[in-house]
Amino acid sequence: MKHEGGSCFKAKLAIRDTLDVVGGKWKLVLISVLFNGKKGFNELTRDAGISPRILSKELQELEINGLVTRQVMDTKPVTVQYELTEYSTTLHEVLFAMEKWGLQHREKVISNKV
């Protein structure tokens, strides 16, 4: 046995904690889209391919968890800019690892299917 019960238990909990914050179908995708820089609401809707209802909910959760800021701009029809926070940079490692894995996995699947 490599790990004793305690450390595995901890690992499992930590994974769960992370999933509670950025799990689900959209959050990491949204963060990766916002990596480009600020975006407006409808822009995000289009870029991520998400419906407004869900986007609104996801953004609120991301904001609550300190990963995104929402800034109301003083424009004629009010606009809003969503932007990643400084804290969100702590997720880079996760995002980068997932992006890398997705790419290599796609390669692998493609080559196995030829």
Residue 51: contacted member of a second copy, DNA, none (CB under 5 to 8 Å, by partner type) = DNA
Answer yes or no: are the C-beta atoms of 60 and 53 closer than 8 Å.
no
Distance from C-alpha of 86 to C-alpha of 66, rounded to nearest angstrom? 9
**Residue type for position 112:** N
7 vs 66, beta carbon nearer DNA: 66
Q: Which tokens in the block code for residue 103?
A: 């790419």
Name the minimum Å distance from CB 73 to DNA.
8
Q: Which of 2, 6, 53, 114 binds DNA (CB under 7 A)?
A: 53
Residue list 44-83, contact with a second copy (CB under 8 A) = 47-48
Q: Which of 36, 51, 89, 104 binds DNA (CB under 7 A)?
A: 51
Q: Are strands 79-84 and 68-73 parallel, antiparallel or unpaired?
A: antiparallel
